Amino acid sequence: MKNEKLKAILDEALENIRNALELEDINERRNRYLGKKSELASMGSQIATLPPEEKKTFGQEMNEVRTKIAEAIEARMAAIKAKALEAKLKRETIDISLPGRNETLGARNPFYIVKDEMTEIFLGMGFEVADGPEIETDMFNFELLNIPKDHPARDMQDTFYIDENTLLRTHTSPVQARTMEKAKGAPIRIICPGKTYRRDDDDATHSHQFAQIEGLVIDKGINIGHLKATLELFAKKMFGEKREIRLRSSYFPFTEPSVEVDITCANCGGKGCNMCKGTGYIEILGGGMVHPNVLKMNGYDPEVYSGFAFGIGIERVAILRYGIDDIRKFYNNDVRFLHQFKKKD
């Protein structure tokens, strides 16, 4: 650069721009070196007084100085802004090492897990779900199920009466009677899940409130082989393919013949252990062929139609499935108990 004064202005400007620390400093340098009252602006007015041969060179050098100063100002301004942003981000940094405030998710009661699974299994077999009132009449709860007044079977079921003719149902069998009444002699294949109530001791294995899933099939040609096949399929779907069932003769007033149904013990695989008391089997439900009297009272000709019925305690299946040691835990609303059954992703 030939003009020493322009060189001196450029050197001074670049040094001062490098030393600027704030945006206000940069703006001050811009006004000082590029403003209308700057020394460069004053020197620009002298171009008209120069000889023609010097005007071009002087003008080119002035433009070069002005460009270099402007570029230095923009670069320094960008650096100051970047430094300010970095400092701001450091001040506002969130410490992600601190524990967050997570929402605590609940867990389903194993009672409902098992109830829904049992229902799905029977729906897959072609059953339909039927429902009925929990407050029942003596007629549907007892009479139409071949349990007349003063029948010995009432001894363990006479329970919570509202009046002489109304009570909390002791089983879900009244739903079967109501369904048969509505069907008017047509074939039936239903399950009846729901709560039941009986006067009973409250201990680890008994409760005044419990739930059942009862099943009923009525059609022509139904026999006990159909009952066994249905329950065997249920047991394998619910407890695993290796589980086997056995039928033991029993008595229920609404079925004839009646059976207790046992399942091979999961603990010993049927070999015998303390859990199954050395038998290799654990009782899970009762059932049998629908009693001819029940068919007659509910509008079916026992010479034409036959059927089977069964009843499964939902809590009992859940206890066997999960190894629960106290039936009362299903109803105590203890979240520590429920969290054991929280679904894992």
3-state secondary structure 168-226: ECCCCHHHHHHHHHHHCCCCEEEEEEEEEECCCCCECCECCEEEEEEEEEEECCCCHHH
The position carrying tokens 């700057």 is 38
SS3 345: coil
Structure tokens at 21: 């620390």
d(CA 257, CA 308): 10
d(CA 207, CA 194): 15
d(CA 323, CA 317): 10
Q: Is 336 exposed, middle or buried (0-12, 13-18, 19+ CB in 10 A)?
A: exposed
Single pTM value for the model: 0.67
SS3 228: helix
Q: Which residues pair with 137 in a beta bridge?
A: 166
Cα 53 to its chain centre, rounded Å, is: 89
Contact 263, 282 (CB under 8 A): yes
Per-residue pLDDT at 114: 93
Length of the chain: 345
CA torsion sign, 237 to 239 to 243 to 244?
A: negative
Element counts in the chain: helices (H) and strands (E): 11, 10
Per residue of the chain (345 residues), give pLDDT as tens. Answer: 567 888 888 888 888 888 888 888 888 888 888 887 888 777 777 777 777 777 777 778 888 888 888 898 899 889 989 988 888 888 887 777 777 777 777 788 899 999 999 999 999 999 999 999 999 999 999 999 999 988 888 887 778 899 989 999 999 999 999 999 999 999 999 999 999 998 877 777 778 889 999 999 999 999 999 999 999 999 999 988 988 999 999 999 999 999 999 998 877 878 888 778 888 888 889 999 999 999 999 999 999 999 999 999 999 898 888 888 888 888 888 888 888 887 653
Per-residue pLDDT at 345: 39
d(CA 186, CA 299): 9
